[in-house]
Structure 1
Amino acid sequence: MARMSPLMVVPPVLFAGLAALFFFGMQRDNPDALPTALAGKPAPVVQVTQLGDKPVFTAEMLQDPGVKLVNFWASWCAPCRVEHPILEALAAEGVVIHGVNYKDTDAKGLGFLAELGDPYSSIGADGSGRMGLEWGLYGVPETFVIDGNGRIVTRFAGPVTERALESTIRPAMEKAAQSGG
């Protein structure tokens, strides 16, 4: 009978170890969560230009009482289309959402809103991406929950889905409301 080499055991053991790592990694509450160094800090500068007829998003609006969202989006962003109905539903509930059209043309951004609806209380264009850089943007879409003191409670990178809304956004909005928002 042939003897089994100890090296023959290594691949299955490595595979089992990697499978366990992947399994436990997928069990996290929010695998898409990207931490932000800005949590608990005042929101960074707002640098946008006029986009359409809507009120221009300003830093002063972040100091208004109540919880609000800041949503970075673009017409060229497919996940932005996915999250848009949820943003529309939040706006219909009375949630204040400030929109930042990121690295897009005004015409395409306005066309996107004309096609899908406009959930934003105020809006602005960040054509150069400078504001996104200041806010530590990873990509679009990204949504920040801001309290009534203008402080960032959380950041959500990726499209706001029903799951993300219930597991991340709404709990952050409740926390923001309790912190003086």
Structure 2
Amino acid sequence: MAKVSPVMLAPPLIFAGLAVLMFLGLQREDPDALPSALEGKSAPAVEITQLGTGATFTDETLRADGVKLVNFWASWCAPCRVEHPQLEALAKSGIEIYGVNYKDKAPNALKFLADLGDPYKSIGADETGRMALNWGVYGVPETYVIDSNGIIVLRFAGPITQRAIEQTILPAIQDAQAGL
């Protein structure tokens, strides 16, 4: 009987390991959802600078009465353009949205808002990406639903679509309003 070398065993063992990982990954509730260690916890510190002449927001703003959204975005982000009409609609419906402009040039960000409209109650710039890092942002756009106590109820990664509003964002807002 021929002796089996460790080099010959490696490919089948690697394949078996990958197959197990893939199987476990498919067992997740929503394979598209990115996990968030911050859901159910207090929102991290707000670390923004002023963008244009508009008012910025603070930690106290996020802990004030009412449910609010914090939206990380950038002018160079194509999906941010796609979600922008949905943000405008949410703002028109009375939902407070606070914008964090991520690693962007101020003139480009301000032109983006001038061209497409400004859905934000107030806004600031995260020029270094420090705030986004602390919040666990994977990439823009990313939106957080925050309750009246400053607790993150939902982290939504990717562009907000009408379907996302109906199936994910509005239910999270309603849960936050109900104090769940």
Query: Does TM, normalized by the shorter one, top 0.5?
Result: yes
Which aligned segments of 4 or more residues in structure 1 are displaced greater than 6 angstroms?
none
- Give the match for residue 3 of structure 1: none
- Give the match for residue 104 of structure 2: 104
- Output one character per residue of 1:150-180: Cα deviation in whole Å (capped at 9) or x when no partner: 0000100000001111111111101111117
Equivalent runs, 1:1-181 vs 2, <5 Å: 25=26, 30-179=30-179
Distance change in 2, residues 1:167/1:174 (3 Å): same
Q: Distance in 1 between matches of 2:69 and 2:88?
A: 12
Structure 1's unaligned 5+ residue stretches are 1-17
Q: Distance in 1 between matches of 2:150 and 2:28?
A: 29
Structure 2's unaligned 5+ residue stretches are 1-18
Normalized against structure 2, the TM-score is what?
A: 0.83
Normalized against structure 1, the TM-score is what?
A: 0.83
| CA drift at 1:31 | 4.0
For the aligned residue pairs, the C-alpha RMSD in angstroms reads 1.9
Figure out how many residues of one structure are paired with residues of the other and give that number. Answer: 159
Instruction: Give SS of 1:80's match.
Output: helix
Instruction: Give SS of 1:155's match.
Output: strand
- Output one character per residue of 1:52-77: Cα deviation in whole Å (capped at 9) or x when no partner: 12211211110110100000000000
- Output one character per residue of 1:63-99: Cα deviation in whole Å (capped at 9) or x when no partner: 1101000000000000000000000000001100000
Contact 1:74 1:103 in 2 (8 A): yes
Seq. identity, %: 65
Q: Distance in 1 between matches of 2:31 and 2:65?
A: 31
- Aligned residue type for 1:97: I
Distance change in 2, residues 1:119/1:29 (3 Å): farther
- Aligned residue type for 1:164: A
| CA drift at 1:47 | 0.3
